[in-house]
Chain A
Amino acid sequence: MENLVNCIELDDGITYAIIDEIEVENEYYVYLVNIKNEEDFCIRKKTSIQNQEAFIQINESEFEKALLSLTKKHQNMLENE
């Protein structure tokens, strides 16, 4: 089933689809996937800079935390495998 999602172009010039957004300890992580290669993904943190929504880099520990949160949120998807 296909869903309509927003897309964003990152600094590498690639357009990514925003596939999810999860709040973890008052931080908002957004999950981005390359629209031309669904195996190519990354995670950014959403924040506000001068009243504008911004997507900033994260550190390694945040990456682990954000990936774990995505897995926990959607782990039921794998139960049918």
Chain B
Amino acid sequence: MKNDDKLIFTPLEREKTTITPFNRKNYPYTTFHSDEEVIHYTQEKINKAKQKSTSSSSTIISSHIKPSRKINVQAIIKRIIATALVASGITAGISGLIPFMKKTIIVNEEKNRVETKLENQGIDFEKKSDIDYKQLSIEEEDLLGAYLCDLDLDELVKTLGYKGSSDYLIKNGMVEVYESGVSHPSTEVWINYEEARLLKEKEREEQNGKSR
């Protein structure tokens, strides 16, 4: 990142940045899978959905409706349409589509890996409030996946010997605490975060024909 780029960000912006395990340094969102692998992955998902939608001959009546539940509908729809577009090869004009799918794939893989690991330990995700975190056996590398499974980050890091999520973020160099007691994302994380944001902003401007 160029020095003059750094100057446009104020300390206030840095204070407002929230750091979670998502902000892992150098998290390899764009290196795990090639573009071809991503396209193949999306085509498999769409084919599976097509098969499911067209192969059943039975009729489901409304009496099969079960109690409602809370889910992030927007995020799910966004993933489905991104999958459909990439599978169809329609990626022109949406510059972040392939990186978005790469991130989606990694996030799903990570979530599924940790979910399976915890289910094998007898964890029932339908009864999250009953989970005894002291009984969990997780490693630091499982934190992101466990977080994606909607488990309590504070309780999770305690099982790893930390005092809480702040302690975890500080000890892993993700936040810096000053004498005044105020904490900010660490310089390294901040630069990484802002660099990604700048690149994204630049891509968007170029896309809109406003490149500087």
B69 neighbours in A (Cβ, 8 Å): 4-5, 7, 17, 35
- From B12-20, B74-82, B175-183, the one touching the partner chain is B74-82
Q: Are A43 and B49 in contact (CB under 8 A)?
A: yes
Q: Known: A5-B68, A5-B71, A8-B65. Is A57-B54 also a contact (CB below 8 A)? A: yes
Q: Are A7 and B60 in contact (CB under 8 A)?
A: no
Instruction: Classify chain B's interface size.
Output: 35 or more
Q: Are A71 and B85 in contact (CB under 8 A)?
A: yes
| B-side interface mostly | helix
Complex: A79 Cα to B95 Cα, angstroms: 9
Q: Known: A2-B71, A8-B66. Is A42-B52 also a contact (CB below 8 A)? A: yes
A77 neighbours in B (Cβ, 8 Å): 74, 77-78, 81
Which residue in chain B gives the minimum CB-CB distance to A75? B81
Which residue in chain A gives the minimum CB-CB distance to B56? A57
Q: Known: A5-B68, A7-B69, A41-B49. Is A58-B54 also a contact (CB below 8 A)? A: yes
How many chain A residues touch B (Cβ–Cβ < 8 Å)? 47
Give chain B interface residues in 72-106, CB to chain A under 8 Å: 72-74, 76-85, 94-97, 99-100
Residue positions of A touching B, CB distance < 8 A: 1-12, 15, 17, 19-20, 31, 33, 35, 37-44, 49, 52-60, 63, 67, 70-71, 74-75, 77-79, 81
15 contacts between A and B (CB under 8 A): A3-B73, A5-B68, A6-B65, A7-B69, A10-B60, A11-B56, A19-B77, A43-B53, A44-B53, A57-B54, A63-B53, A77-B77, A77-B78, A81-B82, A81-B99
Known: A9-B60, A17-B69, A67-B84. 10 other contacts (CB 8 A): A1-B74, A6-B65, A7-B65, A52-B61, A56-B60, A57-B54, A74-B81, A77-B78, A78-B82, A78-B100
Residue positions of B touching A, CB distance < 8 A: 45-46, 48-50, 52-74, 76-85, 94-97, 99-100, 108, 112
